Chain A
């Protein structure tokens, strides 16, 4: 647990307030200075190392900067200042079924989702059967995804996301995927990933889950790290402030 998988140094991210996120032409011309003064800080000079082989939990109230941090790690959001280094192939499960089209068949969506996540077509060809097996969809793979139950859809999406064989998995609260047996299976896959020196970053409000699943955790408040360390201690700190 000495090699970092994700290394974040002095990262700050500022946003314009929600009300001004979609500025109209008139407002952006007329109140330029005003808006700049109103900037809010989502991440305030955060430095953090997450190591290979560890499950890392991120907790905190709404608006504490948790999702922003995940976006920074996923490299979809460039911080205003600071550096982010990610060593490995990242898969994000911040939201399931990215790139998928519900009117199309499960088969087509395996390709759409896989290509969106960064796979090549030939890689999807190779892994197609194992993706379908894992999702346990059987014949349903030829049916339009809009006919799926939400559990079936989650299974398909999770299976595609794992098919890119990531070293680093960024998870939002989507662990409650599918029924009991699939949840077991997905937990098993994630433990396997950790055993292979993979890394999981897990954002959640479910404190027991964080305590149980994560080795370390960080408690965010107003864009800063309030506490960091073994997950049970950090969860205790968080509980004491609620």
Chain B
């Protein structure tokens, strides 16, 4: 087979899969809404937990790193970072569960399995979007940060990039968790390590100050570094660096591309493990 026919075959398979996904878009959206509503119905505070969780997390870290250890920049820097990171971490956690928590549906109904991690990301995206006004209600009166033109332009871009990135990671953990349930135990620890390695509790300048020569470069390879920088330009009006945009977009596309293709290639075998 020539490489040209091979590549047309692959592009045909990709467009078929995309069509199948698109035709089930209502299903994905309703499932995401259903999950949010059913959680809403079973807890007193419902959707507010999407805000309360990162807020409590942020306040605890503020107490430790801001007040006691005094290494944090300020509460607005810390809270914005936590809220953004919380979106990625919840997307990964519910992505990891998305396949194995729905085995009954998956062994009985035929649909593109990528719907499951997509739904997980949609659900967490709604939570994230709900949390942003609350973030401003805290950092607005306290520090005078209000959404301006930079927010209007950059926030949608940052949100789309992070959502693609999250979908990649959610599909990756969903795929890995099917044969290796151990992943579910590992994920919370990896997320905590990632949080500590990212410039959330401390400023990114700390890499250059504290790390030995050459290590700062490696620390900056963390995809959260450009994503957080982009969000801080959007949310807090920090100076916008085009490199942050380019690097975040590159990370998102590479991670999502590799993870989604690994997920889709595994789809046929999935039912064997469920």
Contacts and interface: CB of A to CB of B under 8 A. Distances in A.
Whether A and B are associated in the same complex: the answer reads yes
Interface in A91-140: 92, 94-95, 98-99, 101-104, 108, 111-112, 115-118, 120-121
Interface string B102-124: 00111111110000000000000
Contacts of B26: 115, 120-121
A77 B41 contact: no
Contact of B272 (A77, A92, A103, A108): A77
Contact of B34 (A77, A104, A121): A104
Interface of A: 15-16, 21-25, 28, 71, 74-78, 90, 92, 94-95, 98-99, 101-104, 108, 111-112, 115-118, 120-121, 144
Contact of A99 (B107, B109, B271): B109
A115 B27 contact: yes
B209 interface: no
Contacts, number: 85
Interface in B22-57: 24, 26-27, 30-31, 34-35, 37-38, 41-42
A118 to B, nearest CB: 7
A94 B108 contact: yes
Contacts of A75: 110
A78 B105 contact: no
A76 B180 contact: no
A98 B108 contact: yes
A112 B271 contact: no
Given A112-B31, A115-B27, A101 B108 contact: no
A35 to B, nearest CB: 11
Contact of B181 (A22, A108, A111, A144): A22
Contacts of A28: 179-180
A98 B110 CA distance: 12
